[in-house]
């Protein structure tokens, strides 16, 4: 490990793992928020609001939603603004379509831009973005450090990074209980809602096993950004943070 912003090595999903996750996410589009809200006991949506409350928002800002999914986080941020330029980035066309359908009628002067792409190669100019938000998406990157480098590149000096993700609790007992819940209970809960035995939420447990602890997650991001605040939910299963590019 070297100075801030430069870490040797790669942390993230292998290409095969990434393809499996993308395939699972493609199959969640129609039931994405409903199932997530139920299996997280409401924490998934509650923590998005926590993250939005951590942001400094002002009209006219440029926002990039990295791994936008169906646009839930973008919707929450734009609802607090009257004017903004928004980039929605996601590798899955059906997610971008869902985000477009969600955001197209929002009241305000919004420039909406939908980009099919990945974190590690974002087709946006350097130092052109005021706020990057990654909600439940950074853990699924192929190159965690490469993603952070790209976020840092496109952010203006002093720009904000907001991250919310599922993490393993620092407490080993709680972490193990969380793993058991994801492995055995979540698939059962999701089957009747999804409408089939081959529920994509089965992919949650393997990704959970690879996740960093909450403290590790914050520490790694702190190698690239100045972390200003951290908020946790459900004993550290959810970690939200605000950081800035120095």
CATH number at residue 166: 3.40.50.150
Domain contains 1: no
Per-residue model confidence (pLDDT) at position 207? 80
Per-residue model confidence (pLDDT) at position 199? 84
Order across the sheet with 61-66: list the strands. 109-116, 83-90, 61-66, 129-135, 155-166, 238-244, 226-233
Half-sphere exposure for 225 (CA within 13 Å, toward CB)? 32
In angstroms, rounded to a whole number, what is the distance separating the alpha carbons of residues 95 and 88?
Answer: 10
> Hey, how many other C-beta atoms are within 10 angstroms of the C-beta on 176?
12
Domain contains 142: yes
Distances (CA, A) of 246 to 99, 156, 161, 178: 31, 9, 11, 35
Domain contains 60: yes
What is the pLDDT tens value at each position of the chain, 246 positions in all?
334 544 444 577 777 776 776 776 677 777 777 878 888 889 999 999 999 999 999 999 999 999 999 999 999 999 999 999 999 999 999 999 999 999 999 999 999 999 999 999 999 999 999 999 999 999 889 999 999 999 999 999 999 999 999 999 999 999 999 999 989 999 898 888 787 777 878 878 888 888 899 999 999 999 999 999 999 999 999 999 999 998
Domain that holds residue 69: 15-244
DSSP conformation letters of 55-72: S---TTEEEEEET-TTSH
Q: What is the DSSP letter of 184?
A: I
Domain contains 4: no
Domain contains 3: no
Domain contains 36: yes
N residues, the chain:
246
Domain contains 47: yes
74: three-class secondary structure by DSSP: helix
In angstroms, rounded to a whole number, what is the distance separating the alpha carbons of residues 91 and 68?
Answer: 9
- Total count of domains within the chain: 1
Domain contains 55: yes
């Amino acid at each position: 490990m070297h100075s801030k912003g430069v870490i040797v090595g790669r942390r993230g999903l292998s290409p095969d793992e990434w393809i499996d996750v993308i395939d699972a996410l493609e199959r969640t589009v129609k039931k994405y928020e409903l199932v997530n809200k139920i299996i997280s006991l409401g924490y998934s949506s509650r923590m998005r609001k926590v993250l939005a409350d951590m942001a400094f928002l002002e009209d006219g800002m440029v926002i990039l939603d990295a791994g936008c999914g169906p646009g839930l986080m973008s919707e929450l941020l734009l609802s607090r603004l009257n004017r903004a330029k928004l980039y929605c980035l996601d590798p899955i066309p059906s997610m971008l379509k869902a985000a477009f359908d969600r955001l197209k009628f929002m009241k305000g002067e919004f420039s909406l831009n939908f980009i099919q792409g990945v974190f590690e190669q974002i087709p946006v100019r350097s130092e052109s973005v005021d706020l990057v938000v990654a909600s439940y998406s950074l853990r699924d990157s192929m190159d965690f450090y490469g993603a952070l480098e790209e976020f840092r590149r496109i952010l203006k000096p002093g720009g904000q990074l907001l991250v919310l993700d599922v993490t393993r609790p620092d407490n080993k007992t709680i972490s193990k209980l969380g793993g058991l819940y994801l492995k055995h209970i979540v698939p059962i809960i999701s089957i009747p809602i999804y409408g089939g035995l081959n529920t994509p939420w089965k992919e949650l447990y393997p990704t959970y096993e690879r996740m960093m602890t909450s403290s590790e997650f914050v520490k790694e991001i702190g190698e690239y950004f100045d972390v200003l605040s951290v908020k946790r939910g459900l004993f550290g299963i959810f970690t939200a943070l605000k950081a800035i590019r120095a």
